[in-house]
Structure 1
Amino acid sequence: MTTSSAGAAGGAGVADRTGGPGAAALLRGFLSGGLVGAALACFVVGPVTDRMNLLGAGAGLIAANILLLAIPKAVRRRSAPARPGPRRALARIESRRALSSESGDIPVEFVLTVAPDDASAYRAKFTQSINLVDIPDYKPAGIVVVEYRPDQLWKVQIVTEPDAAWARRAREEVVDSAPASTLATMPTEGCGFCLLMLVGLLLGAAAVVFAFRGDLFDDDGTSGSPNVTSTTTSTTSSTVRITGDVMLMPGQMRGAAEQLIALMGTDKATELSIDEDFMSVAAPKPADPGLVDSFRFRDGKVEATGPHGTRRPDEPLIDLRALPYDRMLFLVVEAKAALGLTPETWHMSFHRAPDTGELEIIVTVGDSYGGASLRADAEGNVVERSPRR
């Protein structure tokens, strides 16, 4: 087995991971801001003072700003050497984080260690859409094939269907983690550029206003300006009920559980159930574990719904932080797709197996004609399917 070393060099040999603005870029930012500010002021001052020629001056300033920014870029592009094409490499998944989505393809934020064959390894952070059913294939510490650009190391994409040779390398080779300090980032103009551009914008606008202050302001207050009546528009706020498979959004189940834990003061529960748009929990009172209260997450909020009952001291509890939330999402997806019906509702409950006492996850789906279910263990592995007959 071949090992692709990633960390020893600490990123030596990989250049231009980050960049900052030079003096010329800062000056261009200041001048660009000044031109834009003066142009905007011309567009306002012209109609107010009846000097319509200022509109043409403003358009000229905008054109000058475009040339100011475009010409240096064109010169750099012409003098720059030919850009190398994309290359392939192995990469190690350091972390992944699914983002919100309403479709089958979910944007996932990856942090990878990219190990080029002819350069030192480095880290890259990017977002790529992955189909919901394929997400388990991209686990942390897994090896994948990626495409990257040697001149723009931050541009990385996972090759979801590599050819046979690369697929074999991904199975057989190992990539060590690169230090976090080797993270490749897109060059930015930085805060200094933005600050100088803002200063230039304000000074450019102020210069135009100052030049025409005599026409804009009338010291004796007798100008023919119309009176302005101030009105206030009030809006009425209302609570909007969120419907649909809200709990199937990536991270929603775990996030709802954490909010409930914060409200309950404990991460242990006697009962737990999850439906399309809410989560219900019964939990022992921290001050008196023999008493049980009910809680609910719905519409992004958690609330206590009242007393639930009592519990025996030896009654086993559900550890809310130990549940396989990522797998639970896929259990619902599988139940909706593979149990022989077109589901209109789904429900997830948690029980103890009568023979072993181990925690089980039951997912039930239903339509107007009945229901079907599947049973999984505490790790989220399906152990029984009960389709509609």
Structure 2
Amino acid sequence: MTSTAGAPPTHNTPADLALGFLTGGVIGASLTAFIGGCVVGRAPLVLTGLVLPAVYGLVFFLATLPRRVREAAVAPRTALAVIESREAVGGETSDVPVRFDLSVVPEDAPAFRVEIRQDVNVVELADYRPRAVVVVEYPPDRPWKTRIVKRPTPEWEERAAVAQVDSVPGPAMKSETPEGCSSGLLNLFGLLLGAAAVLLLFRADLFGSQGGDSGAPEPSVSSSSSTTTVTSSTVTVTSATGTVALGPGKSMLDEGELRAAVESLTQVAGRRQVLSVVVRDRLLTVVFSLTGGKRAGFDPRSLPYDRVPGLVEEAGTTVGAESPRSWQLTADGVTGSLTLMVVVTDGGSTGTLRADGRGKVLRKSGS
């Protein structure tokens, strides 16, 4: 059977290069967003890293669906081919991947030469020796997807047994087109561009530009607690408690200090309900209510700040000292209604005072 070689079609088009560039960009952007979001603890970045490849995959599927439907509708063409060479390229199982160089000679189309890779059982490998005639199938518009038919129909099997197929001159098309330098560079450039886009769009979240512009020190956060130093105060928050420690020379009895301490705590911990608040001269400690729990709690900002210095002074009168050596105020909301308990000590004497949530004295005693 004589053959006339046709020009081998190319299947590495500019559209393939553009697709590789776009895929690289999506990979770079999604990885940068996901890793960066995990490092800085930003949920929007993490979601971007997860959603972006899913959206890209969905868009790609929908965009290529018409083409794949058209390709599936094209009936494959059957032809005879002669094996020019074969080479096993690896494999440790019963099916060995083999690279075939075939000269395909269709009856009503130009002949062509193609190089394919197909798995062949070790037992059947002897049937595919060089110069053997085989039956192949291929899509007419994509001849590089040629496949050897292992179980042809009796008619084609008989034709292959008696046919003489000439070799087709010229270069062979390859079913696995090696990516050139330009394709690799475009993929790399797309990946870098996608990563750079994420870094640019989310630079405030990733690099903390807002905190840097204000000049305020940023909190150091760990998995169990966070600590923020603001001027001479230190705010520490865990899942169960929060504390504010004043610097030297300051007291919670100073005007506005207790209110400022509570506000700084709520800025770090959020507006969470608390079960109790303990105030000492330079230390504020709160116990948070369990998230989603049904236990009673109160807003620490509802404390009667302006009444605290007066309550401490009045409790000190029970031990004969207007300015006691040490004092502690406990605000308790576990029972449902907010109550205040002030305990003062001075010179071995202890005085107590109990007040309601508005700072009205209910009773006091000293010993």
TM-score w.r.t. length of structure 1 = 0.46
> In proportion to residue count, which structure has more helix?
2
- The structure with the largest alpha-carbon Rg is 2
TM-score w.r.t. length of structure 2 = 0.49
